[in-house]
Amino acid sequence: MARRILNLLEGLLNLVTMLIIVVVGAYAGYALWDNEQIYASVENVQADMLLYKNKAEDDMLAMFEELRGINPDVQAWLELDNTKIDYPMLYGKTNSYYLGRDVYGGFAIGGSIFIDTRCDKELRSCYSLIHGHHMTNHMMFGDLDLYKDETFFWENRTGTVLLPDRKYELRTLAVLITHAVHEIIFEPQKWADDIKEPLLYAREVSLYKDEEMIDRLLLENEEAKNGGRKPQLIVLATCSVESDAARTVLLCEMIPVEETE
């Protein structure tokens, strides 16, 4: 009798173990499928947006008219050379609005690239903060990780920001890792007219930085107080693999195209 009970319990244990294996395997398969769907969705939306960008060629006004026909929150377009960062930038009702929405306004875990709502949505201030999720497969702001490699940082320093009426060339200034709520980076309204503190902070903590650019921008920042042109920074931020509270941040100078031609 005891032997039969033991055999029954052993069989029941084997059955439970098998069921657990099946359930775990099914969940793992679903998680993998779901993850693939998330990335496919981001890729599909980006491909759609690039069609509008490529079709417009040099007619920025026409491009933004079409994009704003899809979503009036589209404010600008960001591209960093030799990366897959090539996206429209949106301006939402709050800073959480586009964390989980794509450019069509639908739910999307990958979210969108968006301008901090404490910044001028037309990117006319001295300091513009841009947010995007950190995703693998080079999606969204995942490629900011590339700049943490010293060789890549120094060999890939250009990009573009497009607006309906303006175009800027970008020149990367510094890359750093900081805390998610560090005020010098993440309180952009403080630096709308004076970028001295962000420049000094970049000089102090950056992984890699262009010292000559920092010196020049500090000088231009002071000269602007006497009527000179105000230098502009665009600051790109995303989650960092170092810790949950860490952020990878890339600082770039925004250079009006008419001054570079």
CATH code of the domain in which 130 resides:
2.40.260.10
In a domain, 19, yes or no: no
Query: How large is the average pLDDT for residues 231-259?
Result: 92
Range(s) of the domain holding residue 183: 36-259
**58's tokens:** 């040099």
Is the pTM above the cut of 0.75? Answer: yes
In a domain, 7, yes or no: no
In a domain, 9, yes or no: no
| Whether the predicted pLDDT of 98 surpasses 80 | yes
In a domain, 1, yes or no: no
Better-predicted residue by pLDDT, 87 or 259: 87
Number of domains in the chain: 1
Strands (DSSP E) found in the chain: 74-80, 86-90, 114-115, 127-131, 158-162, 167-179, 208-209, 232-239, 246-256
| Whether the predicted pLDDT of 102 surpasses 90 | yes
pLDDT-based confidence at 253, cuts 50/70/90? very high
Contact predicate 198/127, CB 8 Å: yes
Q: Which of 160, 117, 144 is nearest to 237 (CA)?
A: 144
Q: Quick: pLDDT tens for 200-212.
A: 999 999 999 999 9
Half-sphere exposure of 196 toward its Cβ, with a 13 Å CA cutoff? 7
In a domain, 25, yes or no: no
In a domain, 26, yes or no: no
